[in-house]
Amino acid sequence: MEEDCPHPDWFIQPLIDAGLEAEQIEALVFRLGFEVIVSDGCPTVTALGAVVADRPPAIKAAWIEVIDRLIV
């Protein structure tokens, strides 16, 4: 792995820190991929945030951090 490439866990670390288990993270990431594939055009951060609309604020914040990390 290149030195400037973050470790793969870096992308999902906010979700781990928010207390989600691996299965829950897997489901969210799968849904993210699905939403990106089936959406018209490029989905907005707001639209991707809807994936966790029914979750507690800490998980919503962690999810937005994950999306931000993926964009960067």
Task: Answer whether residue 65 shows pLDDT above 90.
Answer: yes
Q: Which two tokens stand for residue 31?
A: 């849904």
pTM of the shown model: 0.80
Alpha carbon distance 72, 67 (integer Å): 9
Task: Answer whether residue 44 shows pLDDT above 60.
Answer: yes
Mean pLDDT (whole number) for 8-26? 92
Q: Average pLDDT of the chain?
A: 87
Task: Answer whether residue 8 shows pLDDT above 80.
Answer: no
Alpha carbon distance 48, 4 (integer Å): 27
**In one letter, which amino acid is 26?**
E
